[in-house]
DNA sequence: CTGTGCTGTACTCACCAAGT
DNA sequence: ACTTGGTGAGTACAGCACAG
């Protein structure tokens, strides 16, 4: 671990504050005038040179100011940053907005995503809870035509999933009977347990002789499989990212558009966040897998009964106002966890 | 081409601790 | 008490990059 004096840390902190505010390389004169009035520019320059040797700063060209590296930001986040409490206005806005609307969990998460993006002025990403972690409330089958059946699955938390399955021409009466069987048998167990139960039943004795049970189970398994591929990510405020001056280069812009399209990789990164509780900041090489190593993501898991079920994050340029975004993400994770707690 | 703003380097000064 | 050497900080200056 790097050892910096308090003075080094003060200067690194000042450079980051100024760079976050302006997006321009920071020179010694500005620092000396604005942040470190007891030190001359020359003194500041000597320290900046030391910080550059340590890999915490870099100079885009020989007569420019310094820009913090990803390593510099990382050090700042670990050792220097002083987090502010989330402003009261933001807190009450979140509380107010999150308590409105329907109880549907998708609706709740969509609103959370919107608020994260609005308040942070960056893109927000929310990974929805995995369907398998939800408790089953009911399932319905609706005949659409001779080959298609619509499946409507409702979780106990109010999450509604729709999908279409293809199957033989069954009457609506039969479909209702199958649904009743599943609804009675599996109410209040998790979808994962339900699927395991159905698979077990499939090979059981009863299934061999009772064609109704057999068909109900078979349709149930097909229906649950149909939900597996549902999109499970909300992304909002992409424009905030695209409008960054850092993306003036069209090639770079294309990379970022591709990164957003590649949802699988974003999901993998967000899943990693769940491994460690609390708010984490991913930057530099952490985001290399999605080609966004000059960007940064402040992310946290959210929980139901202390079990991580999904994650959320704010994605923006590496020069982000972390002292504001970190408390924001932490607060939103807590609000979501509390909401899920109530709805079990 | 010029002005501006930044840098690194050279040199100087002040202060402090250790040696004579 | 005086000298010496090290360290930190200041000023001055030349050179470089960039915008107009």
DSSP-assigned states of every residue in A23-91: -SPBPHHHIIIII-TTS-HHHHHHHHHHHHHTTSEE-SSTTS-BEE-HHHHHHIIIII--PPPPPHHHH
- pLDDT greater than 90 at residue A240: no
As ranges, strand C nucleotides with an atom below 7 A of a protein CB are 8-12, 15-18
Q: Is the CB of A43 under 7 A from strand C?
A: yes
pLDDT in tens, A114-153: 999 999 988 899 988 777 777 888 999 998 888 888 989 8
SS3 A279: coil
Within a 10 A sphere around the Cβ of A10, how many other Cβ atoms? 17
pLDDT at A344 over 60: no
- Give the percent of chain A with pLDDT over 90: 17
CA of residue A34 to C1' of nucleotide B7, angstroms: 19
Let me know: does A107 contact A119? Beta carbons within 8 Å. no
Pick from A122, A157, A21: which is nearest to A329 by CA? A122
User: pLDDT confidence of A248, banded at 50, 70, 90?
Assistant: low
**Which pLDDT does position A184 carry in this prediction?**
92
**Angle made by CA atoms A59, A63, A68, in degrees to the nearest 5:** 20
pLDDT at position A112 over 70: yes
Instruction: Name the nucleotide with the smallest C1'–CA separation from A41.
Output: C10
Phi, psi of A231 (to 5 degrees): -60, 140
Question: Integer distance in angstroms from CA A45 to C1' B15?
Answer: 22
Q: Is the CB of A62 under 7 A from strand C?
A: yes
What integer pLDDT is reported at residue A330 of this predicted model? 95
pLDDT at A211: 81
DSSP-derived secondary structure letter, A306? T
Percent of chain A scored above 70 by pLDDT? Answer: 86
- The more confident residue out of A93 and A256 is A93
Average pLDDT of span A13-38:
74
User: What pLDDT, on a 0 to 100 scale, did the predictor assign at position A89?
Assistant: 94
Cβ burial A87-106 (10 Å sphere, 16+ → b, else e) = eeebeeebeebbeeeeeebe
Q: Which of residues 7-26 of A touch strand C (CB under 7 A)?
A: 7
Distance measured from the CA of protein residue A284 to the C1' of nucleotide B20, in angstroms: 57
* Residue whose C-alpha is closest to residue A332's, from A321, A324, A343: A324
Cβ of residue A38 near strand C, that is under 7 Å?
yes
Structurally, at CATH architecture level, domain A132-227 sits in 2-Layer Sandwich (3.30)
Q: Are A329 and A312 in contact (CB under 8 A)?
A: yes
**CB of A132 within 8 A of CB of A151?**
no
Q: How far, in Å, is the CA of A78 from the C1' of nucleotide B12?
A: 39
Res A241: pLDDT: 73
Burial class of A340 by CB neighbour count within 10 A (0 to 12, 13 to 18, 19+): buried
User: Phi-psi bin for A306: left (phi > 0), alpha (psi -120 to 50), beta?
Assistant: left
- HSE-up (13 A, CA, CB side) for residue A249: 5
Residues A12-18 have a mean pLDDT of 82
- On the question of pLDDT at A164 being above 80, the answer is yes
Burial class (CB in 10 A: 0-12, 13-18, 19+), A114: middle
Whether residue A231 is predicted with pLDDT greater than 60 in this model: the reply is: no
pLDDT digits (tens, 9 = 90+) for A254-283: 777 777 777 778 888 888 887 888 999 998
Q: Which nucleotide is nearest to A43 (CA to C1')?
A: C9
The C-alpha atoms of residue A226 and residue A162 are separated, in whole angstroms, by 9
Could you tell me which CATH number the domain at A88-130+232-343 has?
3.30.450.40
Largest Cα span, chain A = 90
pLDDT at A229: 55
Q: Judge whether residue A61 contacts strand C, using its CB and a 7 Å cut-off.
A: yes
Q: Which helix (H) or strand (E) holds A286?
A: none
Residue spans of the domains in chain A: they are 6-80, 88-130+232-343, 132-227
Q: Between the CA of A57 and the C1' of C19, what is the distance in angstroms? A: 25
CA-to-C1' span, A30 to C14 (A):
21
A278-310 pLDDT, tens digit each: 999 998 888 887 777 778 899 999 988 777 888
Calculate the angstrom distance between C1' of B10 and CA of A319.
Answer: 36
Measured CA to C1', the nucleotide nearest A44 is C9
Whether the per-residue pLDDT at A30 is higher than 90: the answer is no
Distance in angstroms (rounded) separating the CA atoms of residues A79 and A15: 15
Could you tell me which CATH number the domain at A6-80 has? 1.10.10.10
Taking the C1' atom of C8, which residue's CA lies nearest? A43
């Amino acid at each position: 671990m790097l050892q910096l004096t308090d003075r080094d840390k003060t200067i690194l902190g000042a450079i980051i504050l100024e760079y976050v505010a302006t997006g321009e390389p920071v020179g010694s004169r500005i620092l000396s005038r604005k942040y470190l009035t007891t030190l001359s520019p020359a003194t500041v320059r000597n320290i900046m040179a030391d910080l550059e040797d340590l890999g915490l700063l870099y100079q885009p060209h020989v007569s420019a100011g310094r820009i913090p590296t990803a390593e510099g930001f990382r050090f700042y986040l670990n050792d220097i940053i002083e987090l502010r409490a989330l402003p009261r206005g933001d807190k009450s806005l979140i509380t107010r907005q999150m308590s409105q609307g329907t109880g549907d969990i998708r609706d709740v998460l969509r609103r959370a995503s919107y608020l994260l993006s609005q308040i942070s002025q960056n893109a927000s990403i929310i990974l929805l809870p995995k369907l398998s972690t939800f408790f089953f409330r009911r399932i319905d089958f609706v005949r659409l035509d001779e080959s298609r059946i619509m499946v409507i699955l409702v979780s106990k938390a109010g999450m509604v999933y729709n999908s279409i399955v293809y199957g033989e021409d069954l009457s609506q009466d039969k479909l209702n009977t199958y649904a009743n069987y599943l609804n009675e048998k599996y109410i209040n167990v998790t979808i994962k347990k339900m699927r395991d139960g159905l698979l077990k039943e499939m090979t059981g004795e009863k299934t061999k002789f009772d064609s109704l049970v057999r068909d109900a189970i078979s349709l149930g398994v097909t229906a649950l499989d149909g939900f597996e591929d549902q999109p499970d990510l909300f992304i909002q405020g992409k424009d905030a990212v695209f409008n960054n001056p850092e993306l003036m280069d069209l090639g770079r812009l294309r990379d970022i558009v591709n990164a957003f399209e590649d949802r699988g990789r974003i999901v993998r990164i967000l899943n990693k966040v769940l491994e460690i509780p609390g708010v984490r900041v991913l930057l530099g090489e952490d985001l290399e897998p999605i080609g966004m190593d000059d960007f940064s993501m402040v992310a946290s898991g959210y929980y139901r009964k202390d079990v991580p079920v999904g994650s959320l994050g704010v994605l923006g340029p590496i020069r982000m106002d972390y002292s504001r975004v970190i408390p924001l993400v932490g607060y939103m994770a807590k609000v979501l966890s509390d909401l899920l707690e109530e709805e079990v």
